Chain A
Amino acid sequence: MAAPAADDFRARAAAAAGDAALHRKLDVASLRFLDERAQVFAALPDAEARRDRARAVKAHAIASLATLLPQLEQRFTANGGVVHWARDAAEACAIVLDIATRAGVRLVVKGKSMVSEEIALNAALAAADIEAVETDLGEYIVQLAGEPPSHIITPAIHLSQDDVADLFARRLGEPRHATAEALTAAARRVLRTKFRAAGMGVTGVNFASAESGALVVVENEGNGRMALTLPRIHVALMGIEKVVARDEDLAPMLELLPRSATGQSLTSYVSLVTGPRRPDEMDGPDEVHLVVLDNGRTRLLADPIMREALYCLRCGACLNACPVYRRIGGHAYGYAYSGPIGAVIAPALLGVERVADLPYASTLCGACRDVCPVRIDIPHLLLEWRARIAAAVPRSWGERLLVRAWRTIAASPPLYHVATGAMRAAFAVVAHVPALAALLPPLAAWRRGRELPTFATRPFHRRWRERRVASPDGA
């Protein structure tokens, strides 16, 4: 689960596509979120205008990062926090490790953070003999299972309640619990002791306001709130794209994030971090650190077309809406960010050669764009990646040849009629002798789970010509 390994996407996708049990689990959660999202948006007055406003807030922030990030640093520092800048995953891990080592921390409790998955922080801490415990229930489950999260919002979406009961019985030495309540209580018993003993809490950041230096952490279980108040040190991790200009910009974001993610109007906990505990305050950490991560994001920023991928709120709605994600799950993508938005940002963050298959793993159905709270045009960005990959990646030559051949054929009606006639013959042969499909890989691929269509013996062109000859005046 350490280093992202997206290279074997095809094999993993094919395997997951045959896993009916996985499909049932993915459907249970993703369709419920999708339905509840639809209901809560239908009930939200001026929902479409709010999405436009949220997009405008993000567009402004991303276009102004050069001024907003220094402003955030200044305000956050004035609030008593410490800001650290990390160019890549290694630097980010080294910063967290340094803070922990300096303070003699042996145990870290973590609120949910996809950036920590992106930089493989747990592995870095483990290598330094520091225990890191996930405290979000879903994250805790996948950590116990030794797996990465398979969804941005619902990390254990690929596991059923039965799977979790088995896992807890195996890993926690508990009797096998039959109810979700009993399983949650079991996790809670373990996590309470961890919260009390931890020297450091690590959380993600959903939004940061450059105006006040406040960090916003959105969650439902209270574990994030505890991770950022209980231990002596709080370390918050954020990508550079999380900053917005003003406090009032947080309102449209907080309206849309929970609605898009889980169909909730508001999450149970929304924490605003405005620095360490002050002398007159009852609780809170002594130190608050903010690690601001680039890790390839400035490549997206410098790219006028791909830049809008930085508007992403990490709500996970595009995963739920994606027919491909719902059949292969998050692990197939091999990266912290899966689904449609993952297929857009992975090529930028990991390098397009490593994940050249991802932008093709879409039917371009557009369901992702329809549910995106900030209307990121994901299908368009996937098409753009395909064009760049086709132009740059050498293994596209076979495909280029096919496309060029079809272009030449379709540019000339006589060639088109000859070539389609040949295809008709090939399909007819395969229909009679299915074994011959092996000679034509696309036909063999089609026949996995589907019957081949048949070419008409008289295509429309010919029927029209015959009709024209039969009645020269037209209809």
Chain B
Amino acid sequence: MDVQLLVTCLADQLAPEVGEATVRLLEGLGHRVRFPEAQTCCGQPAFNDGFPDDAAVLAARTVDVFAAADPVVVPSGSCATMVRHFYPGLLARTPHAEAARALAARTFELSEFVVRVLGRTDVGARFSGRVTYHDSCHLLRELGIRDEPRRLLAAVAALELVEMGYAEHCCGFGGAFAVKFPEVSVAILDAKVARIVATGAEAVVANDTGCLIQLAGGLRRHGAAVRTLHLAQVLAPAPDV
């Protein structure tokens, strides 16, 4: 089928390899990926900071940008939550109301899309090493996705999945929270870093670029030799050279 990629502004700018891996993964599974090039930011930062009217402007244009009927795949639980849970309310009494509801209904986070929509858990990937998985908050608690990423990881050849303690605890990112309350954000992060390091994993996997830059920032500051990887980077076939 044809799928539309909502890459997210964070991945676009900070981790384009996540977008590329998402494309390779979906194409490897036999689907055609469209990337509407007018996409920018879904409006979540403004929404979470208490500016719903500004968020609604970006929501409305995102609804327009993804007007095609194909499913929309997002390599981020947080941005998928924004589109799915908050767009319909934000755009409810606007000309975009109907289209926002329709977009919400065809928008999926990546692991959710692969497991629930495509019905795949073994995507034929191989990754040799021990990894641990961090539950991103919106993915887990807004979208209810706990098992899907783990099932995908468990099916990867040569990969050893070890659970960290309290994998479902927040990493302390929280968007603007990370810089509004930096000491608190870092204190939360330090606890998470200690639990990651305690697993002895060589990589921590998560499904949100926001969490991943927070985790990478903490791991590097502590000098921990643990890589941060988006799930798509573990699952995707190697790029053609």
- B191-241: which residues lie under 8 A (CB-CB) from chain A? 191, 213-214, 216-218, 220-221
> Please, how many angstroms separate the alpha-carbon atoms of A454 and B13 in the complex?
9
From A46-54, A233-241, A307-315, A445-453, the one touching the partner chain is A445-453
- Chain B residues within an 8 Å CB radius of A189: none
Quick check: is B20 within 8 A (CB to CB) of the other chain? yes
Given contacts A370-B141, A387-B52, A459-B12, contact A411 B61 (CB under 8 A): yes
Q: Is the CB of B186 within 8 A of A450?
A: yes
CB distance from A262 to the nearest CB of B (A): 19
Against A, the Cβ 8 Å flags (1 = close, 0 = not) of B171-186 are 0111111111111111
Quick check: is A351 within 8 A (CB to CB) of the other chain? no
Given contacts A364-B174, A366-B141, A403-B46, contact A456 B13 (CB under 8 A): yes
- Chain A residues within an 8 Å CB radius of B172: 323, 363
Chain B count of residues within 8 A CB distance of the other chain: 68
Q: Is the CB of B37 within 8 A of A449?
A: no
Against B, the Cβ 8 Å flags (1 = close, 0 = not) of A450-475 are 11111110111101110000000011
Quick check: is B142 within 8 A (CB to CB) of the other chain? yes
Against B, the Cβ 8 Å flags (1 = close, 0 = not) of A366-394 are 11011000000000000101111111000
Chain A count of residues within 8 A CB distance of the other chain: 68
> Please, how many angstroms separate the alpha-carbon atoms of A404 and B165 in the complex?
40
Q: Is the CB of A23 within 8 A of B51?
A: no
Quick check: is A13 within 8 A (CB to CB) of the other chain? yes
- Chain B residues within an 8 Å CB radius of A10: 181
- Chain A residues within an 8 Å CB radius of B153: none
CB distance from A115 to the nearest CB of B (A): 29
Q: Is the CB of A459 within 8 A of B13?
A: yes
Q: Is the CB of B61 within 8 A of A363?
A: no
CB distance from A73 to the nearest CB of B (A): 40
> Please, how many angstroms separate the alpha-carbon atoms of A446 and B217 in the complex?
9
Sample of 10 A–B contacts (CB below 8 Å): A17-B184, A326-B188, A326-B191, A360-B180, A403-B45, A409-B40, A420-B12, A448-B186, A456-B16, A463-B16
Using CB atoms and an 8 Å cutoff, list the residues of chain B in contact with chain A: 7, 9, 11-17, 19-20, 23, 27, 32-33, 35, 37-38, 40-41, 43, 45-52, 54, 57-58, 61, 137-138, 141-142, 166, 168-170, 172-191, 213-214, 216-218, 220-221
